[in-house]
Amino acid sequence: MSKDIRPELGLRQIVNVSGTMTTLGASIAVPQAIEAMHRSLPQFFEMSALHRYASEVIADLTGGEAGFVTASCASGITIRVAAAMTGTDLLAIERLPDAGTLKNEVLMLSGHMVSFGAPVEQMVRLAGARVIPVGQATSSSAYQLAGSITDRTAAALFVVSHHVVDYAQVPLKTFAEICHARGVPVIVDAASEYDLRLFLAQGADLVVYSGHKFLGGPTSGVVAGSKQLIRACYLQNRGIGRGMKVGKETIIGVSAALTAWKTRDHAGIRARERAALDTWVAALAGRPGVTATIVPDPTNNPLDRLKVTIDPDEARITAWNLASRLAAGDRPVIVRDHEIEHGHFFLDPCNLHPQEEHLVAERLLEELGKAALSNDVISTPIEEVWLEREKAILNWPD
């Protein structure tokens, strides 16, 4: 019997070259996390002690004073904002999201107010806080940040992501120095980041990482930072955090993934990823209207992707139509398409099962070959593509 459960459920066996995307299930869980979760499910735990164990594991790997496991990075943002607002005041924790007289303003650079599937600022508002934008989307300055701090400022949130504006922004080190000068704690959202120590070293008080992306654990967020603020995060389980609680299997699973991270063969992983990239470059070489370029990760994670740029006049198909065709049928290949309207998409090798890189190459050549036979350029107006995506969302579960 096949180990792949998808056919039993009537679901397509997709190949993920989009990356560590929540919409696709994030990542391949590491064996250590799977085994640990399996072993935990029949057992009972004192959950406070289990959280304490996870805190020690997180602190060891990140260099933070303590750590806390949340249901996701999104809930991690909400819980960390709540912690900055309430501290360890149990009555205030019970009253949220009614902030009352608490400090409830959270500063964010305007260029960081992005969507990761939902608006980042909505995660802040869930705690009962107000987002105060700093600067403009395309620029922010130190004086704008300093001038936005008031006696109502509870925290400042800094987002590290490929979605944010990546130029003319206040860097984290400066951001933290300005905030700390006025006693404002700095929260960093580093959901898809590889370096588990960098952001605390640059001045963050709390950082959240995804437990289910590069770490390869179950769906979760891993918060690290100061013991005082982590304690306040933990106490949110008595308030709004109750609806975002994690189970024993999640805490055990992400702790195992964190422990495994210390001995993972990162160099070997990079070598396998590079081999996949080279396979795709070779397959696309000489294809009319196709330019394949290996590019580094935009937030300096130690990995590369393949940028596939499509000239529709020569390839006879637009980038978005090609991506749509790759994602259709019985052998769907899902590409990284967040910049698709610019005429390119990316192939991310980090979540491939063995030999899947060859299937990706085959599907690319198959769809490009079909398009080359078309008398007319296959081109659906991009605005229609976007509207169809909205329609599909609104039609769920049909």
- DSSP helix/strand/coil, 304: strand
Give per-residue pLDDT as tens, 193-213.
Answer: 889 999 999 999 999 999 989
- DSSP helix/strand/coil, 283: helix
Percent of the chain with pLDDT over 90: 84
Give per-residue pLDDT as tens, 213-254.
Answer: 989 999 999 999 999 999 999 999 999 999 999 999 999 999
Return the pLDDT at 1. 41
Give per-residue pLDDT as tens, 150-166.
Answer: 999 999 999 998 888 88
Strands 344-347 and 130-134 come out as: unpaired
Question: Closest Cα to residue 208, out of 76, 327, 115?
Answer: 76
**DSSP character for 21?**
-
Cα–Cα distance measured from residue 361 to residue 317, given in angstroms and rounded to the nearest whole number:
17
With beta carbons less than 8 A apart as the criterion, state whether 191 and 44 touch. no
Cα–Cα distance measured from residue 193 to residue 199, given in angstroms and rounded to the nearest whole number:
10
pLDDT: which is higher, 20 or 381: 381
Cβ-based burial of 66 (10 A; exposed 0-12, middle 13-18, buried ≥19): buried
Question: Could you tell me the pLDDT band of residue 75, with boundaries at 50, 70 and 90?
Answer: very high
Percent of the chain with pLDDT over 70: 99
Q: What angle do CA 6, 8, 11 make, to 5 degrees?
A: 40
In CATH terms, 31-261 corresponds, of 3.90.280.10, 3.40.50.300, 3.40.640.10, 1.10.260.40, to 3.40.640.10
- For the residues of 106-134, what is the DSSP string, one character each? EEEEGGG--BSSSBHHHHHHTTT-EEEEE
- CA contacts within 13 A on the Cβ side of 200: 22
The crossing angle, in degrees rounded to 10, of helices 248-261 and 47-62 is: 20
Query: Quick one: CA torsion of 4, 9, 11, 14, rounded to 10 degrees?
Result: -10
Beta strands, E only, the chain: 15-17, 66-70, 105-109, 130-134, 153-159, 186-189, 206-210, 221-225, 290-296, 304-310, 333-335, 344-347
Cα–Cα distance measured from residue 207 to residue 204, given in angstroms and rounded to the nearest whole number:
7
Q: What is the largest CA-CA distance in the chain?
A: 70
- DSSP helix/strand/coil, 69: strand
Residue length of the chain: 398
Flag whether pLDDT at 181 surpasses 90.
Answer: yes
Give per-residue pLDDT as tens, 82-119.
Answer: 999 999 999 999 999 999 999 999 999 999 999 888 99
Calculate mean pLDDT across residues 285-309: 94
pTM for the model = 0.90
Flag whether pLDDT at 123 surpasses 70.
Answer: yes
- DSSP helix/strand/coil, 40: helix
Return the pLDDT at 116. 87
Q: What angle do CA 288, 291, 293 make, to 5 degrees?
A: 155
With beta carbons less than 8 A apart as the criterion, state whether 116 and 74 touch. yes
Q: Report domain extents, the chain.
A: 6-22+265-394, 31-261
CATH fold label, 6-22+265-394? Aspartate Aminotransferase, domain 1 (3.90.1150)
Calculate mean pLDDT across residues 363-385: 93
Question: Could you tell me the pLDDT band of residue 290, with boundaries at 50, 70 and 90?
Answer: very high
With beta carbons less than 8 A apart as the criterion, state whether 202 and 172 touch. yes
Cα–Cα distance measured from residue 13 to residue 11, given in angstroms and rounded to the nearest whole number:
7
Please compute Rg for the chain using Cα positions.
23
- For the residues of 266-280, what is the DSSP string, one character each? HHHHHHHHHHHHHHH
Cis peptide before 218 (omega within 30 of 0): no
**DSSP character for 100?**
T
Q: Average pLDDT, whole number, for the chain?
A: 94
Return the pLDDT at 2. 56
Return the pLDDT at 231. 97
